[in-house]
Chain A
Amino acid sequence: MNGPQDMGGMMGFGPVAPEAGEPRFHEEWERRAFALTLAMGATGTWNIDASRHARETLPPLTYWSSSYYEIWLEGLIKLMGERGLVSADEIRTGKSAEPPRGVARVLKADMVAGVLAKGGPANRSAPAPARFKPGDKIRIRNIHPQGHTRLPRYAHDHAGEIVRVHGCHVFPDSSAHGKGDDPHWLYAVRFSVRELWGHEGPDHVHIDLWEPYLEATP
């Protein structure tokens, strides 16, 4: 979806002010929100793409007014609320009002390091040969899906070049909506800034893009 997370090319946010010695967490609650989100993710009730989509479908005003971990927390509340794991009342009062519902897996403290080290690989075996190879010229489709996508708006309709083939990966546009892994080839695509933004310059933008986002340049 063309949501508030799709900020590439937007102006008016003010300067990026990097924080010297930036801490991993700015408040204790951020550490807790991070742990809660990972622990709930480990239950297998949703996948990482559904989790991303929950954050990105927050109303634009909420999204732009929230800090990074505020967005995580709002996303988690939404994911749990949609699945009947928490009610609005429980969030408001901070107290459990109903007996806990069962989940498939529970992340115990002694399992955390192992689970984190294992990660969640998204590469899969290929259902078909790759359509493109490094050096191929492609064009990005002009598509505006209502659901989750990782194709940024600013790349629509622009021409680029395949610079790397990452293998076949879970397709977020399907996976976020419970439609299975639906694996597709994933490529690093290089665009010139002139092509994307219409001004001269030596810079390039590289974006990892799935095959269904691309079409061959005639």
Chain B
Amino acid sequence: MNGAHDMGGMMGFGPVLPEPNEPVFHAPWEARLFALVVATGEHGRWTLDEDRSACENRPPAEYLRLTYYEIWLAAFAKLLDEKGVSGSPPSPTQVLRPQNVAAAHLARSEYVREAPAPQKFRVGDKVRARNVHPTGHTRLPRYLRGHAGEIVAVHGAHVFPDSNAHGGGENPQWLYTVRFGAGEVWGNSSRDSIHADLWEPYLAAL
């Protein structure tokens, strides 16, 4: 969806003020929430993509009003409400014990899958990001749509967020790093480049 999270190219937010020695958490509740979200993720009631979609799919003013972990909390509450936590308790293997945290976190960060079809593009291929405006979850930013770029890396087939966020299964698709000239994207004379990791269904051959 073209939500408030899709901020690339938007103006008027004021300067970015990096915080010196920024702490990982600004308040104890943030650390606790982070732990709760990770531990509950082990129950397998929702996917990472559903979680992201729950963060992003909210009224734009609300999205801007909330801090980073306030958004996490709002998404967490929404998922608990939608997916239910009542009924059967999690099985013992779904309960995250302190000694398993590191291993479980690593295992859950793996999104490479077996490729269902040969890759359509190779490094050096020219592509165009499709002009699509899905109302569901997507990781194709609005500012790249319709623009031409070049494949610079092939990451293998990965879980496709646009499906996985909506109960459509993992539906693995090839994932590429695509380089766009900043001049192409923003219509100026910049020689800078933007690199975006984009799934094959977002791209058309040029």
- Asked if A59 and B13 make an inter-chain contact with CB atoms under 8 angstroms apart, the answer reads yes
* 0/1 string, B1-32, CB within 8 A of A gives 1: 11110000111111000000000000000000
Q: Does A144 lie within 8 Å of B9, measured CB to CB?
A: yes
Contact: B58 with A12, CB < 8 Å?
A: yes
State whether the Cβ of B195 lies closer than 8 Å to any Cβ in chain A.
no
Chain A at the B interface: mostly helix, strand, loop or mixed?
loop
A198 x B130 contact (CB < 8 A):
yes
In A119-144, the 8 Å CB interface with B consists of 141-144
* Chain B CB within 8 A of A87 CB: no
A57 at the interface (CB under 8 A from B): yes
B34-42, B60-68, B111-119 - the one binding chain A: B60-68
Closest residue of chain A to B8 (Cβ to Cβ) is A2
Contact residues, A57-108 vs B (CB, 8 A) = 57-61, 64-65
Q: Is the CB–CB distance between A14 and B2 below 8 Å?
A: no
Whether the pair B135, A11 counts as a contact (CB closer than 8 A) is yes
Closest CB of chain B to A2's CB: distance in Å? 5
The 7 closest A-B pairs by CB, nearest first: A142-B187, A198-B131, A64-B61, A61-B64, A11-B1, A12-B3, A1-B11
> Other than the known A1-B11, A59-B14, what 20 A-B pairs have Cβ atoms closer than 8 Å?
A2-B11, A2-B12, A4-B12, A9-B142, A11-B3, A12-B1, A12-B57, A12-B58, A12-B60, A13-B59, A14-B59, A59-B12, A64-B4, A143-B187, A144-B9, A144-B186, A153-B9, A156-B187, A198-B145, A199-B133
A167 within 8 A of B: no
A22 to B132, CA, bound (A): 35
The yes or no answer to B156 lying at the interface (CB within 8 A) is no
Interfacial chain A residues near B10, Cβ < 8 Å: 2-4, 60
In the complex, the chain B residue whose C-beta lies closest to that of A153 is: B9
Number of interface residues of B (CB under 8 A): 30
Task: Tell me the complex Cα distance, A89–B10, Å.
Answer: 31
Pick the contact of A144: B12, B61, B131, B187 (CB < 8 A): B187
- With A and B bound together, what is the CA distance between A141 and B142 in angstroms? 17
Q: State in angstroms the CA–CA spacing of A142 and B130 once bound together.
A: 17
- Chain A residue contacts of B141, Cβ below 8 A: none
Specify the chain A residue showing the minimal Cβ separation from B6: A10
A59–B14 Cα gap in the complex (Å)? 8
Which among A12, A57, A144, A197 is the interface contact of B59 at CB below 8 angstroms? A12
Cα–Cα, bound, A96→B64 (Å): 34
Residue count of chain A within 8 Å CB distance of chain B: 29
Residues of B within 8 A of A59 (CB): 12-14
Greatest chain B CB density within 10 A among A143, A157, A158 is at: A157
A141 close to B130 (CB less than 8 A): no
The answer to whether B61 touches A61 (Cβ under 8 A) is yes
Report the minimum CB–CB distance from A40 to chain B (whole Å). Answer: 23
- Within the complex, the shortest CB–CB distance from A150 to chain B, in Å, comes to 15
Contact assessment for B60 and A10 in the assembled complex, using a CB-CB cutoff below 8 Å: yes
The minimal Cβ–Cβ distance linking B78 to chain A, given in whole angstroms, is 13
Q: Which of B80-139 contact A (CB under 8 A)?
A: 130-133, 135
For A65, the closest partner residue in chain B by CB is: B61
Residues from chain A with a CB closer than 8 A to the CB of B4 are: 10, 12, 64
Residues from chain B with Cβ under 8 Å of A146 in the complex: 11
Task: Give chain A interface residues in 148-199, CB to chain B under 8 Å.
Answer: 153, 156-158, 197-199
Of the candidates A9, A58, A142, A158, the one whose C-beta lies within 8 Å of that of B2 is A9
| Residues of A close to B187: CB separation below 8 A | 141-144, 156-157
Instruction: With both chains docked as a complex, state the minimum distance between the C-beta of B206 and any C-beta of chain A, in angstroms.
Output: 15
- Tell me the nearest residue of chain A to B5, going by C-beta: A12
Q: How far is the CA of A1 from the CA of B11 in the complex (A)?
A: 6
Once the chains bind, are A64 and B11 in contact (CB under 8 Å)? no
